Amino acid sequence: MGLKPANGEEIFTLVFIYSGEYAERVIRNLINDPSFCKSCDLYCDFCKYNVYSYVRYIRAAMQLPEPSELPAFVDEPEKYMPKKIPKANLCVASGLHKDLLLELPHHLYKVGIRGLIVPIEDFVEVPSGLRKQVEEKCQELGLETAFPKPFCSLKPVDDKPLISRFVTELKVGRPSLAISTARRGKYEVIDSTIVRRSAPCGSTWYVAKKIIGVKTRRGVLYDAVARAHHSYPCTATMGVDPEMKEPILHIGGFIIREAVEKALGGA
C-alpha cells in the first residue's frame, strides 16, 4: 500500500482528513516546516530544523468544511467527503463534523486504507458515544483504530501494527527524551536534551529546550515543564473531561512531565 524505495522496503504512508487548525499544526511538525516553530523567537538555534522531515510519508491533506459551517445533522454526509482519497496505510482525522466522521470509515475502506487515528483534544468534538460508533464501524470493516486523548498519549501496541508504525517511524506520539545533567555549584541542572519522540504537535521540542539549565529539584523542574508546556501552547481543552475527570490539557502536561522524569531515571 505504501511507496517503495530502491531497497524494496515499503514506506509507511498516511493521509490527513481534517477541519480546523490542529491537524495543520501536526502536519507542519511532521514535515518540519522551517516557519512553523516560532517559540524561541530571536533566540532560535534551529534545534529541530534539518534534523528530520516526513513529508514523503504524507500522501494528502484534505480539508473538509468546519462543523460550524454545516447543519447540526447532515443528512447526506457523502456530499462533503473528499472526491478522491489516495491509497495509504493510515488516516488521521481531526476536527470533523460528527456525521462526516461517522461516514469516513466506509470511504477509507473503499480505497484500501486500513487504519484510523482520531485525536481527541476536546471531548466535545468527539464524545464517548460518537467514539464508540466510529470504533464499531471500523471493527466491522477491519480497520485499526486509536482515539488518543490527547494525541500525545498515543503509544505503539502489538495488536495494531499500522498505528504502531505511525508512532515508531514518524517518531510522534507519547514523548520520549534523553537528558544529561551536570553539577553547577551545589545544584544538579539539566545540561542537554535530545528528543527521541515528540508530541505530534511538536511541543516536546520546545519543552526540551526550555528546561536546559533548570535545576533537577522536583518542584523547580515541574514548574519549568508546566510553564513551557503552557507557553507552546498546548491546544487541548481546559474543560474537565467527563471520563478523565481532568482537563485534557492537564493530561498532556502530566505526560510530558512523566517523560522528563523517566529520562532523568525517576519512577
Cell numbers 480497520 correspond to: 143
Q: Using an 8 Å Cβ cutoff, are 145 and 93 in contact?
A: no
In a domain, 7, yes or no: no
182 and 155, same structural domain? no
Give the containing element (helix H, strand E) for 93: strand 90-94
pLDDT in tens, 16-63: 999 999 999 999 999 999 888 877 777 778 888 889 999 999 999 999
pLDDT in tens, 146-182: 999 999 999 999 999 999 999 999 999 999 999 999 9
192 and 93, same structural domain? no
In a domain, 161, yes or no: yes
Helix or strand or coil: residue 246?
strand
Do strands 14-18 and 58-63 pair parallel, antiparallel, or not at all (unpaired)? parallel
Q: Using an 8 Å Cβ cutoff, are 118 and 134 in contact?
A: yes
Helix or strand or coil: residue 96?
coil
* pTM metric for this prediction: 0.93
Q: Which of 116, 150, 170 is the last residue of a domain?
A: 170
Looking at the 3D structure of the chain, how many domains does it have? 2
21 and 145, same structural domain? yes
In a domain, 243, yes or no: yes
Q: Using an 8 Å Cβ cutoff, are 237 and 248 in contact?
A: yes
Give the pLDDT of residue 61. Answer: 97
CATH number at residue 116: 3.40.50
Query: How far apart, in whole angstroms, are the C-alpha atoms of residue 125 and residue 213?
Result: 39
pLDDT in tens, 179-235: 999 999 899 999 999 999 999 999 999 999 999 999 999 999 999 999 999 888 788
Query: How far apart, in whole angstroms, are the C-alpha atoms of residue 181 and residue 192?
Result: 7
Q: Using an 8 Å Cβ cutoff, are 87 and 215 in contact?
A: no
Q: How large is the C-alpha radius of gyration of the chain?
A: 19
In a domain, 4, yes or no: no
For residue 161, cis peptide bond before it (omega within 30 degrees of 0): no
DSSP, res 137: H
191 and 161, same structural domain? no
In a domain, 9, yes or no: no
In a domain, 162, yes or no: yes
152 and 55, same structural domain? yes
Note down the domain range covering 65. Answer: 14-170
208 and 222, same structural domain? yes
In a domain, 1, yes or no: no
In a domain, 75, yes or no: yes
